[in-house]
Amino acid sequence: MRFEPVQRILGVLLMVFSTTMLPPLLISLSIGDGTEEPFIIAFAIIFGSGALLWFPVRRIHRELRTRDGFLITAMFWVVLGLSGALPFMLARNPHMPFVDAVFESISGLTTTGATVLTGIDSLPKSILYYRQQLHFFGGMGIIVLAVAILPMLGVGGMQLYRAETPGPIKDKLTPRITETAKALWYIYLGLNVACALAYWGAGMSLFDAIGSAFATLSTGGFSVHDASFGYYHSPLINMIGVVFMVLAGTNFALHFMVWRGRSLRPYLKDPEFRFYIGVLVAAAGLTTAVLIVTNFYAGATDALDQAIFQVVSFATNTGLTTTNYYAWPRFLPVLLFFLSIMGGCAGSTAGGIKMIRILLLGKQGWREGLKLIHPQAQIPVKLGRKPVGDTVMDAVWGFFAAYVATFVIIMMLVMATGVDQVTAFSTVASCMDGLGPGLGDAAINYGHLPTLAKWFLSLAMLMGRLEIFTFLVLFSPTFWRR
Amino acid sequence: MKIIILGAGQVGGSVAQNLASEANDITVVDGNYRILQELQDRLDLRTVVGNATYPAVLMEAGADDADMIIAVTSSDEANMVACQVADTLFHTPTKIARVRAVEYLSYPQLFSAESLPIDVLISPEQLVTQYIKRLIEHPGALQVLDFAGGKVRLVGVRAYFGGPLVGHELRTLRDHMPGIHARVAAIFRRGKPIIPEGDTLIEAGDEVFFIAARKNIRAVMSELRRLDKPVKRIMLAGGGNIGKRLAQALETKYQVKIIEHNTARARQVSEELNKTIVLLGDAADEELLLEENIENTDVFCGLTNDDEANILSAMLAKRLGARMVMSLINRPAYVDLVQGSEDIDIAVSPQQATIGSLLAHIRRGDVVNVHSLRRGAAEAIEAIAHGDSASSKVVGRAVQDVPLPPGTTIGAIVRGDDVLMAHHDTVVEAEDHVILFLVDKRRIGDVERLFQVGVTFL
């Protein structure tokens, strides 16, 4: 293992990331909310440390190996989480302590959307924008962005891309990796613009529209208001949100094919997308029915509106809220959390286990049942009409096992810090899946949790975002052997 | 350029590697998922798993807007069908296919636009056979490459003590050989390229590339090393396709022996060849080699499809006294390893012999011939200058005024039937074939631009 190329790329990535301090700085300067200083200092620190890393090894050019890709990606997300916390710590308002600032920053970048802040409405505009912007860059992945704009990565770009993008099967859309990364970012950017315009047209202020679009398309969940989407009381805005959340939870490779082929057929033919929509419709239907039967809301339309928005928001791990979902009757709150564990589609900005894995696991289980009835039968697991290779199935099982194990261990650790079981379950699920809201003590926000629990949850967010293994391999001794 | 490569075997893989490094959009199609995965890890390209002849698979690989399709699967028939499919359904502009069987190749009318629409046929066996044949015709040369239909050849030679020019400045070449025109295009000293000037000294051990008319090559080589005696006795290890073809091409002029270990194959080869002696046995069998007078053999070639067997049998032959030994080596890493050793004189890489004929079609500008040298790091190309002094950066200019990128030399110019060695004051005319040598392939883009007729160029 040689660290020079890793160090070099890490340095460059940090310098790239430092420029993301500039848009909030411009906002601060233009409206004069008095928070220029934190952004200038943060920019200088991040750029400087990036340059310090890069400078001594700038002449070392070596192709990245697969394991370098894991190391760079994991290290970068950790460093990014820490350095993204700088403005929160430096600003006079909110002036957060270290642990809270890191939690908030990682929550933003991993598009979790869990917050420790209260009184969001009173924060300076530039800080508010900065939080939303963290979502924006974390959503499609800042490493994918780097692959798109930095030609120097070369073949190594593929190693990084693989370590950051979610899903069991990682196909390139175009022959060259930079083109693939560019295509993904163009689509992502385009959807963001469309969403912001729609929100704006539906009555939000321009600032709110842009910030909410960032939170929607990245399936983040930070809002510029304490009451989240409940602040607007507008079914129209909710429906716009639902449409764009569904799009954000869809595999971006599908968007690419639709855009290139100018036809909606890829959506209709894709088995994962059909399953995803099926789950959303079924869950929304069930939730509406329960809400109506228990008379939770005054009218059926109100129940429908709230049910659809919350189901989609949880299933895509966005975590925007319109209502006090945690007070919903019967099994509904827990249903929402199980939906969030299932997650969106592979290759989307959503988190969780991912629909395709759930689908494959289900099919595998069904196959085992069939095999008991017909012991001699040859039953391949098929997706669409194509059989799925054993390597993919093994990887899916491996992921599932690692996911459950990680979940259990972190949940125990969180409970060890003195958190009750409902809160621990919901916060760990919420953080690992990139959802945001919790139940119990964390139903409103995460501010009251013990410091140690916040660290564990920050780790859960990073591991969830990078799909466990990118992080887990770093803990294995063989990874570090030369 | 958008290129689809069908087949990820040895040729497909090395073609992909060569082309991907030149910023082309490459998609590789193969039935084997693992090979593709390995290729995708190493190179920046896209892969598609499936049968390379099926329209749906080609479609998925992006055939509808591909500029070129290169069919190099292991099956001749699949390659031909794939080109037909690409032409009929996707109107792919350039279609290149590997066809090995002489049974097809001997009917060229098969491959016209109306029947099987294949623009370029490549037959690696044929290319390798010709390549080795040229080396045998010029004993002592490391590489012999044809330009302008064989009128001009580029020859790579290692300079030795005893060559009259060794230890002298290049400019004395003309005094040594009045009336013979040759030009040294590049010198590689301990693997590093040197751009030759008039006052460059040639040292023993240098790898010298010179360009000369075909008939003058022996004379120039004699300046650089004591000339080897012409070859008489040749021994080939391996009676596969290459061994058999080579024997066929050589048996009328030389005494050829083939060693083949498979009884049935040995019998078949012996039936097809007339004067060649086919020996049944192991090429690495010392007794057999001694019995067959290896010490008096001029050239020994290891030509089986097993790299290791070729290398070891060639080394053994050299120890036992064969004058010159060659070995066919597929693995690029072995080529480097062997090229530097003293035991084996020449390593022949089939990929390198093949890739040139493909590269000629990928180059922009009117490039008719490309030869890849030194594992693809250097390149010799033959380009045709078009246009006039207003639209071209080459035509109407003296060689010294052509804005060549660094590390590039113009070696010779072929005008009609005349071969002109490039002097600094030679003026390039329209439709001249210009032969250039690039010590660094990364400059290829600049050279391509030189030979494109610019509309906006004033």
- Smallest Cβ–Cβ distance between A155 and the set B25, B44, B46 belongs to B44
Residue A478, C-beta contacts closer than 8 angstroms, at least 6 positions apart = none
- Smallest Cβ–Cβ distance between B46 and the set A154, A155, A174 belongs to A174
Residue where the block lists tokens 């009676």? B239
CB atoms within 10 A of CB A89: 19
**Confidence band for A1, pLDDT divided at 50, 70 and 90:** low
What is the C-alpha to C-alpha distance for residues A365 and A359, in angstroms, rounded to an integer?
A: 10
Put simply, the answer to whether B44 touches A177 (Cβ < 8 Å) is yes
DSSP B15-50: HHHHHHTTT-EEEEEES-HHHHHHHHHHSS-EEEES
Q: What is the mean predicted confidence (pLDDT) over A458-478?
A: 86
B33 touches A at CB < 8 Å: yes
B21 touches A at CB < 8 Å: no
Which residues on chain A are in Cβ contact (under 8 Å) with B27?
Answer: 175
Q: What is the mean predicted confidence (pLDDT) over B433-445?
A: 82
- Smallest Cβ–Cβ distance between B44 and the set A66, A158, A389 belongs to A158
Q: State which H helix or E strand residue B270 sits in.
A: helix B263-272
What is the C-alpha to C-alpha distance for residues A178 and A151, in angstroms, rounded to an integer?
A: 7
Put simply, the answer to whether B33 touches A389 (Cβ < 8 Å) is yes
What is the C-alpha to C-alpha distance for residues A154 and A146, in angstroms, rounded to an integer?
A: 11
User: How close B450 comes to chain A (CA, Å)?
Assistant: 26
The pLDDT tens digits of the residues spanning A34-44 come to 788 889 999 99
What pLDDT does residue A105 have? 92
CA atoms within 13 A on the CB side of A247: 20
| CA-based nearest residue to A76, from A462, A481, A476 | A462
**Confidence band for A362, pLDDT divided at 50, 70 and 90:** very high
Put simply, the answer to whether A175 touches B45 (Cβ < 8 Å) is yes
**Confidence band for A170, pLDDT divided at 50, 70 and 90:** low
The pLDDT tens digits of the residues spanning A420-439 come to 998 999 999 999 988 888 88
Residue of B nearest to A172 (CA): B46
What is the C-alpha to C-alpha distance for residues A457 and A419, in angstroms, rounded to an integer?
A: 12
Question: Both tokens of residue B191?
Answer: 């693997």
| CA-based nearest residue to B218, from B273, B139, B271, B332 | B139
What pLDDT does residue A395 have? 85
What pLDDT does residue B409 have? 84
Which residues on chain A are in Cβ contact (under 8 Å) with B26?
Answer: 175
| CA-based nearest residue to A165, from A400, A370, A469, A454 | A469
Per-domain residue ranges of chain B: 2-122, 128-224, 233-348, 354-451
Q: What is the mean predicted confidence (pLDDT) over A191-197?
A: 93
Put simply, the answer to whether A179 touches B25 (Cβ < 8 Å) is yes
**Confidence band for B457, pLDDT divided at 50, 70 and 90:** very low
What is the C-alpha to C-alpha distance for residues A290 and A294, in angstroms, rounded to an integer?
A: 6
- Smallest Cβ–Cβ distance between A176 and the set B25, B42, B62 belongs to B25
Residue A23: exposed, middle, or buried by beta-carbon count in 10 A (0-12, 13-18, 19+)?
middle
Put simply, the answer to whether B46 touches A172 (Cβ < 8 Å) is yes
Residue of B nearest to A160 (CA): B41
Alpha-helical regions (H) of A374-438: 390-416, 421-432
Q: What is the mean predicted confidence (pLDDT) over B330-348?
A: 80
3-state secondary structure of A63: coil
Q: Report whether pLDDT(A310) > 70.
A: yes
What pLDDT does residue A482 have? 65
What is the C-alpha to C-alpha distance for residues B307 and B53, in angstroms, rounded to an integer?
A: 31
Q: What is the mean predicted confidence (pLDDT) over A369-391?
A: 86
Q: Report whether pLDDT(A277) > 70.
A: yes
Probe site for chain B from A153, A171, A176 (most B CB atoms < 10 A): A176
Alpha-helical regions (H) of A438-476: 451-465, 469-472
B116 touches A at CB < 8 Å: no
Put simply, the answer to whether B46 touches A175 (Cβ < 8 Å) is yes
- Smallest Cβ–Cβ distance between B43 and the set A155, A174, A179 belongs to A155
What is the C-alpha to C-alpha distance for residues A365 and B227, in angstroms, rounded to an integer?
A: 76
Residue A328, C-beta contacts closer than 8 angstroms, at least 6 positions apart = A290, A291, A296, A336
**Confidence band for B458, pLDDT divided at 50, 70 and 90:** very low
A360 with A383: CB under 8 angstroms?
Answer: yes
Put simply, the answer to whether A158 touches B41 (Cβ < 8 Å) is yes
Residue A278, C-beta contacts closer than 8 angstroms, at least 6 positions apart = none
User: How close B43 comes to chain A (CA, Å)?
Assistant: 6
DSSP 8-class letter at B169: B
Q: What is the mean predicted confidence (pLDDT) over A316-325?
A: 86
Architecture of domain B128-224: 2-Layer Sandwich (3.30)
Among left, alpha and beta (phi > 0; psi -120 to 50; other), residue B140 is left
The percentage of chain A sitting over the pLDDT mark of 90, rounded to a whole number, equals 31
Q: Please provide residue A323's backbone torsions phi and psi, each rounded to the nearest 5 degrees.
A: -155, 175
Q: Report whether pLDDT(A382) > 80.
A: yes
Residue ranges of chain A whose CB lies within 8 Å of a chain B CB: 66, 154-155, 157-158, 172, 174-177, 179, 389
Put simply, the answer to whether B44 touches A174 (Cβ < 8 Å) is no
Name B3's bridge partners: B26, B68
Residue of A nearest to B44 (CA): A155
DSSP 8-class letter at B90: I
- Smallest Cβ–Cβ distance between B26 and the set A66, A158, A175 belongs to A175
The pLDDT tens digits of the residues spanning B365-400 come to 678 888 877 766 788 888 888 877 777 778 888 888
Please tell me the CATH superfamily of domain B2-122, with its number. NAD(P)-binding Rossmann-like Domain (3.40.50.720)
| Whether the domain at B128-224 and the domain at B233-348 fall into the same CATH topology | no
Alpha-helical regions (H) of A294-354: 300-315, 332-342
Q: What is the mean pLDDT of chain B?
A: 84
The percentage of chain A sitting over the pLDDT mark of 70, rounded to a whole number, equals 97
Put simply, the answer to whether B40 touches A389 (Cβ < 8 Å) is no
Q: Report whether pLDDT(A155) > 80.
A: no
Bridge pairing between strands B408-415 and B418-421: antiparallel
Q: What is the mean predicted confidence (pLDDT) over B427-443?
A: 83
Higher-confidence residue of B15 and A360: namely A360
Question: Both tokens of residue B381?
Answer: 């190309």
DSSP B271-286: HH-SSPEEEES-TT-H
What pLDDT does residue B258 have? 93
What pLDDT does residue B77 have? 92
What pLDDT does residue A156 have? 67
What pLDDT does residue B455 have? 54
What is the C-alpha to C-alpha distance for residues A212 and A229, in angstroms, rounded to an integer?
A: 9
B72 touches A at CB < 8 Å: no
CA angle B333, B339, B344 (to 5 degrees): 120
What pLDDT does residue A154 have? 60
B57 touches A at CB < 8 Å: no
User: How close B62 comes to chain A (CA, Å)?
Assistant: 9
The CATH number that domain B233-348 falls under is 3.40.50.720
Q: Please provide residue B46's backbone torsions phi and psi, each rounded to the nearest 5 degrees.
A: -105, 150
What's B354-451's CATH class? alpha beta
B64 touches A at CB < 8 Å: no
User: How close B38 comes to chain A (CA, Å)?
Assistant: 12
Put simply, the answer to whether B27 touches A66 (Cβ < 8 Å) is no
Q: Report whether pLDDT(B188) > 50.
A: yes
Which residues on chain A are in Cβ contact (under 8 Å) with B42?
Answer: 155
Question: Both tokens of residue A456?
Answer: 């564990």
Probe site for chain B from A159, A160, A174 (most B CB atoms < 10 A): A174
User: How close B360 comes to chain A (CA, Å)?
Assistant: 22
Q: Report whether pLDDT(A320) > 60.
A: yes
Which residues on chain A are in Cβ contact (under 8 Å) with B46?
Answer: 172, 174-176
CA angle B347, B350, B353 (to 5 degrees): 95
Q: Report whether pLDDT(A411) > 90.
A: yes
User: How close A154 comes to chain B (CA, Å)?
Assistant: 7
Residue of A nearest to B64 (CA): A261
Q: What is the mean predicted confidence (pLDDT) over B313-335?
A: 88
Which residues on chain B are in Cβ contact (under 8 Å) with A155?
Answer: 42-44
User: B 227-256 residues with CB below 8 A of A?
Assistant: none
What is the C-alpha to C-alpha distance for residues B14 and B27, in angstroms, rounded to an integer?
A: 13
CA angle A48, A49, A53 (to 5 degrees): 120
Which residues on chain A are in Cβ contact (under 8 Å) with B49?
Answer: none
Put simply, the answer to whether A176 touches B44 (Cβ < 8 Å) is yes
Amino acid at A420: D
Probe site for chain B from A65, A172, A257, A269 (most B CB atoms < 10 A): A172
Q: What is the mean pLDDT of chain A?
A: 87
Cis preceding-peptide flag for A94 (omega within 30 of 0): yes
Is this complex's ipTM strictly greater than 0.85? Answer: no
Which residues on chain A are in Cβ contact (under 8 Å) with B69?
Answer: none
DSSP A213-262: HHHHHTT----SSTTGGGGT--HHHHHHHHHHHHHHTS-HHHHHHHHHHT
Residue B390: exposed, middle, or buried by beta-carbon count in 10 A (0-12, 13-18, 19+)?
exposed
User: How close B90 comes to chain A (CA, Å)?
Assistant: 16
Q: What is the mean predicted confidence (pLDDT) over A205-234?
A: 88
What is the C-alpha to C-alpha distance for residues B170 and B194, in angstroms, rounded to an integer?
A: 13
Q: Number of A:B CB contacts under 8 A?
A: 28
